[in-house]
Structure 1
Amino acid sequence: MKHKIGIRYEDKYKMERRVPLVPAHVKQLVDKGVEVQVVPSEKRVFKDEEYKKAGAILKNEPLDADVILGVKEMPLGYFKAHKTYIFFSHTIKGQAYNMPLLQNMIDSKINLIDYERIVDEQGRRLIFFGRFAGLAGMINSLWSLGERLKRKGVETPLSKLKQTHHYDSLEEAKAAVSAAGQEIARNGLPGLTLPIAIGITGYGNVSKGAQEILNLLPVIEISPADLLTLHKQKNLPSNVLYKVVFEEKHLARPKEAGMEFDLQEYYHHPERFEGIFEQYLPHLTVLMNCMYWDDRYPRIVTKDYLEVLWKNNDLKLEVIGDVTCDPDGSVEITHKGTAIEDPVFVYHPETRKPVMGFDGEGVLVMAVDILPSELPREASQAFSDALIRFLPGLLEADFEVPFEKLQVPAPLKKAMILYHGELTPDYQYLKQYLKS
């Protein structure tokens, strides 16, 4: 029987333009005898004609392929029994907003593989958009800072930047940031309280992407400890930005007095720790939140503490680039992820109300939920490069056998949340989040 694989139309977001598999990799599969079905799309970064030339069959829904690829969540009622679906389901934390989706997939008796859980033996993700989230997140945040200062009547080199998706390529965006950096080095960055400090939480792929952009500006990296005393120095320059990268040990400490921070204990017993990140907030101009978080861990920005800073006139924080984008999560004021076409809001610490756009008193938050889609071509190519090697083994698998006998590439098996509608052993914990 001929193997069939399908690429669906992305319908969750208006400006979702990414693809899980690029035309060049489709051609590789077709040349090996695989039938690739692609649902037509006018917004996809790779055009229908490119897929057709690669040998794909353009086919409207419903797809009759055995394996169906997507990027973001698929809609309720979309699933057909015993087919295999691969996408970012956003269910592994028991996210309440997607529990109806998980239940629907269970009821539909499907196989679900989540890209987020495709990892190696050390738990490192093998297929990801993270770097591109960091790249676009930092570009957007620098653009947001420039727009925010412009609203205050201050023109800066950052005012010349654009939101990421308005650039034709990552190379063009980098050139624009680099040009702004050269101008900052010559003339400084007016309108901000010195020192100008940009903090980045995390050190993974997202953080590395954010730093890749930030390093195009005149930056000096300092430690979190040095940040706390930097403001005491005299004659600080306005043409230098200070970069601070925060690790887990800077976010929390053991509740028990005298105990040293232990990373593995923090991962396994976060309830034994309390947050300490707030000590750094009064010293930051921009905060880039690039770390993994779930509700077992302390928040790094709370509404209560922002209100205290605001009332004491100690809030110099202009922009939060919440790349992590967990609603009501590590940055408590991020009440929702924002859309590419409406990317920012201003949160007032005293009224505790957000207002979409750049205007208003308070802290501006950039929390675009699909940041890599602002660099759709490069992000899709890198993602497809990682995914393609796993697909032949998946297509050859016999899905009639019990799960324990299923022969698929090991990282895919680790990432299989559902098998014929049943939670697999590693994901039994999700039962507690499903309504009985």
Structure 2
Amino acid sequence: MTELHVWLRHEVRSTERRTPIVPSDARRLVAVGVALTVEDSPQRIFPIEEYEEAGCRIAPAGSWVSAPRDAVVIGLKEVPDEPAELTHHHISFGHAYKRQPGAEALLRRFAAGGGALFDLEYLVDEHGRRLAAFGFWAGYLAAALAVLQHRGRLVTPLTPTSKQELDAVLQPAPEDEEFTALVIGALGRSGRGARAAFRTAGVEPTCWDLEETRDLDRPALLGHDVMVNAVLATTPVPPFLRDQDLDDPTRRLRTLCDVTVDVGSPLNVLPVYDRTTEWNEPVRRLRKEPPLDLIAIDNLPSLLPRESSTDFSASLLPQILDFGTGGAWGRSLDRFHQACRELGIEQREFRRD
């Protein structure tokens, strides 16, 4: 059997502090014979010295472009715009299968270089359940930021923290006014995280899932003060919020946080905004009177980088040990090929040499 060579790349986004493989799990991979190269990354929550002590090979940031052809490059968010041709197998969140902006260009880069994308969002078991996800922490942070914004205690720009520190500021103060909160998608990973954060903040949210959204009660939705959307649609559904809803004079909704951030996708259930918000300006006002504030950050778990990375890495470790083109990885690879076919993209055959 050919030795598996995993190449952990530096994340180019300045606000990305997470990693899909933490040092303790890197040590386990090395111990069973996996060759693990880790790029230096000053922003990664875990220092490079911990990977070196775990027995990993160390490489400069961005050097994956010249890695051996058989190295499997792993990261989380977007790859740089160069090189134009992607020749390796990549494991990451590609956000490229629902016609998002830039999706076709990314898939064409893989096709041109003969590489392939194993999208972590589509690394699923035989029942379609994701095997490694940041969902709980995305939901937790979505609700936490929504609460702090609604209570007037959100400090910007946002900076990474720990759950202990975050929970300390989430605790209700005597002067805080009560408010109502709604979590849509409450039974999924992100929904569970949002519910947990609301309860830490002393708020018992209304919980909606599939049953409640089949025949959406818009007046009830707009009658809540705070809403967190944790629904990731895979087929077209009527939007939960429309522009006319934001102008409804009976609207009580004041704070909206979107975990999914499906901007630009035809499957977006909140087509009332056209761009994400960022750490330096996390809140965007959608309406002035009555006010409606939006939080739509697409890497929320990076604000709790240690906790979210540790949980994700633990889930991903057994999958890496079983890496190949069958099972869950085969399903992920099939989804990549399907996306290329849907766009009429011809793919070059992958070569290891």
Check whether TM > 0.5: yes
- Percent of aligned pairs with the same amino acid: 24
**Residue of structure 2 equivalent to 1:416:** 333
What is the rounded CA distance, in whole Å, between the counterparts of 1:59 and 1:80 in structure 2? 21
The structure 1 residue matched to 2:77, chosen from 49, 53, 72, is: 72
Which stretches of structure 1, 4 residues or longer, exceed 3 Å deviation after superposition? 76-82, 161-168, 217-220, 430-436
Please say which of residues 379-388 and 165-174 is displaced more in the overlay: 165-174
Contact 2:38/2:57, CA 8 A, preserved across alignment: yes
Letter in 2 for 1:383: F
Matches within 5 A, 1:63-142: 63-64=67-68, 66-78=71-83, 83-142=88-147
Matches within 5 A, 1:33-44: 33-44=33-44
TM-fit CA distance, 1:145: 1.0
What is the rounded CA distance, in whole Å, between the counterparts of 1:28 and 1:188 in structure 2? 47
1:369 paired to 2:292: no
Q: Secondary structure at the match of 2:151?
A: helix
What is the rounded CA distance, in whole Å, between the counterparts of 1:33 and 1:374 in structure 2? 33
What is the rounded CA distance, in whole Å, between the counterparts of 1:146 and 1:122 in structure 2? 41
What is the rounded CA distance, in whole Å, between the counterparts of 1:297 and 1:46 in structure 2? 40
What is the rounded CA distance, in whole Å, between the counterparts of 1:126 and 1:304 in structure 2? 38
State the TM-score, normalizing by the size of structure 1: 0.71
**Residue of structure 2 equivalent to 1:260:** none
1:57 paired to 2:57: yes
How many residues in Structure 1 have an aligned counterpart in Structure 2? Answer: 336
What is the rounded CA distance, in whole Å, between the counterparts of 2:299 and 2:155 in structure 1? 17
| Alpha-carbon displacement from aligned partner over 1:195-234 (angstroms, at most 9, x marks no partner) | x2101100200000010111123334xxxxxxxxxxxxxx
What is the rounded CA distance, in whole Å, between the counterparts of 1:343 and 1:295 in structure 2? 28
Matches within 5 A, 1:179-328: 180=172, 183-184=173-174, 187-189=175-177, 196-202=179-185, 203-220=187-204, 243-253=205-215, 276-294=216-234, 296-307=236-247, 309=248, 312=249, 314-327=250-263
What is the rounded CA distance, in whole Å, between the counterparts of 1:362 and 1:175 in structure 2? 27
TM-fit CA distance, 1:334: 2.5
What is the rounded CA distance, in whole Å, between the counterparts of 2:316 and 2:84 in structure 1? 22
TM-fit CA distance, 1:188: 4.9
Q: Secondary structure at the match of 1:287?
A: strand
Q: Secondary structure at the match of 2:200?
A: coil
1:347 paired to 2:286: yes
Please say which of residues 81-90 and 137-146 is displaced more in the overlay: 81-90
Contact 1:70/1:86, CA 8 A, preserved across alignment: yes
What is the rounded CA distance, in whole Å, between the counterparts of 2:39 and 2:237 in structure 1? 41
Q: Secondary structure at the match of 1:38?
A: strand
Greater relative contact order structure (CA < 8 Å, 6+ sep): 2
**Residue of structure 1 equivalent to 2:14:** 14
Contact 1:118/1:127, CA 8 A, preserved across alignment: yes
**Residue of structure 1 equivalent to 2:342:** 432
Letter in 2 for 1:321: C
| Alpha-carbon displacement from aligned partner over 1:289-333 (angstroms, at most 9, x marks no partner) | 1111256111000012222x1xx3x22211001111111521222
Distance 1:197-1:297 versus aligned 2 partners, 3 A rule: same
The structure 2 residue matched to 1:145, chosen from 139, 144, 150, is: 150
What is the rounded CA distance, in whole Å, between the counterparts of 1:132 and 1:333 in structure 2? 24
Distance 1:198-1:81 versus aligned 2 partners, 3 A rule: closer
What is the rounded CA distance, in whole Å, between the counterparts of 1:4 and 1:219 in structure 2? 47
Contact 1:252/1:298, CA 8 A, preserved across alignment: no
Provide the aligned C-alpha RMSD in A. 2.5
What is the rounded CA distance, in whole Å, between the counterparts of 1:32 and 1:107 in structure 2? 34
Contact 2:225/2:254, CA 8 A, preserved across alignment: yes
TM-fit CA distance, 1:387: 0.9
TM-fit CA distance, 1:78: 3.9
Contact 1:75/1:101, CA 8 A, preserved across alignment: no
